[in-house]
Amino acid sequence: MKNVVVVGSQWGDEGKGKIVDWLSDQADVVIRFQGGHNAGHTLVIDGVTYKLRLLPSGIVRKNKISIIGNGVVVDPWALLEEIEEIKLKGVEVNVDNFIVSESANLILPFHREMDEIREDAAGKGKIGTTRRGIGPAYEDKVGRRSIRVMDLRSETNLDHRLETVLLHHNAIRKGLGKKIFEKEKLKKDLLKIAPEILKFSQPVWLRIDEFKKKKKKILFEGAQGILLDVDHGTYPFVTSSNTVAASAATGTGCGPNSIHYVLGITKAYTTRVGEGPFPTELNDDTGELLGSRGKEFGTVTSRKRRCGWFDGVLVRQTIKISGIDGIALTKLDVLDELDEIKMCVEYELDGKKMNYLPAAVEDQLKIKPIYKTFPGWKTSTQGIKNIESLPENAKNYIYALEDFVGTKISSISTSPEREDTILLENPFDI
């Protein structure tokens, strides 16, 4: 039995959907452990496209158990809507194949509104959130005033919990000149959908223990990327959860010894959505080419992604922070038309060389990348399934990238199609 954690090694959007889908086909259980419906995975199976936001990727495959862990913040209406959407595509979602942690915290309408209010008020200082209430929901969680799935079981308890959380939010809303939120309507709306949510509710930590005893293969599915981690990312331009691999344990209720392999999904160049530092960003024709060839638009928001060269310094840093055992290199074929390809191998800050990204955002914004340049291969790599069939210049770039970041490449993706992958190492077989 091997359990695998999948995380993004950059700012998210690394192409996790394809890799997670391939791994979920081999797994028995697939678990989401952090984030919310602010990050999406796109899966293409037998010509059908599935765009998942909250549901784990295993849901589209038969005979798999899909779980939303306690570390995820759940918009209950968004979840039910997504379930209905995917059912229309012939996917079964029932109490036998889908579980939601009873300890998962809920995203409520006032969380979404607070997200919008803050972003609009921030002006140039905005973070670039998806305005889906993720941050405010996590704030209530750590503030010990959140509504959890289990709170939907009792009207009396729900009434008390809503009183507590609205005392906080309505005080802020009054201060901002906004209309206060009415408890009774919200309670009524929640009680209406409670049976549909509660039927999936279970103690996930207990089920994981059972799966481990039965030697089931578990895939822990991360959202976003390590550089958006609230502790280790480009703070404050980050998400509100821990996106590192260690979060798989706390976000589901199992010990770190349950994790046997950490796979870091890594794009062959770099992208970022929203605001914040981006040392290798390209605001030129090359950046536009990467964006158009890579179809760099957000799955959930459709926002255009910022594009730049591969930042080896950053990926080497996230590999160390998250304990990544191997990387799945994606979107190699996007680089096919370039005359030359650059890789950031060092930084310069105020005239001094640096081999890591400093923690202070003011330093991150001043960083200048130092590049190593590689000749392009100017031929198609799309659909290649054997590393020996790659052009020599492509192989040279890959080997140099692998050597610099200090972790082996386990696979190379050469198109969005699942079968167009060069497999060098299967994480479940290590």
Q: How many CB atoms lie within 10 A of CB 406?
A: 12
CA atoms within 13 A on the CB side of 85: 14
Torsion sign across C-alpha atoms 66, 129, 330, 320: negative
SS3 12: coil
Length reported for the chain: 430
Q: 166 and 181 in contact (C-beta within 8 Å)?
A: yes
* Residue 285 annotated in active site: no
Q: Which of 21, 37, 41, 325 is catalytic?
A: 41
Interatomic CA distance for residues 403 and 166, integer angstroms: 53
Dihedrals phi, psi of 429, to nearest 5 degrees: -105, 0
What type of residue is 220? F
339 is catalytic: no
Q: What share of the chain is helix, strand, coil (3-state, %, to 5)?
A: 40, 20, 40
Q: In the structure encoding, which two tokens stand for residue 104, read together?
A: 């998962």
What residues contact residue 274 under an 8 Å CB cut-off, 6+ apart?
A: 127, 128, 129, 237, 303
Options 13, 115, 140, 229, the catalytic residue: 13
Q: What is the set of active-site residues?
A: 13, 41
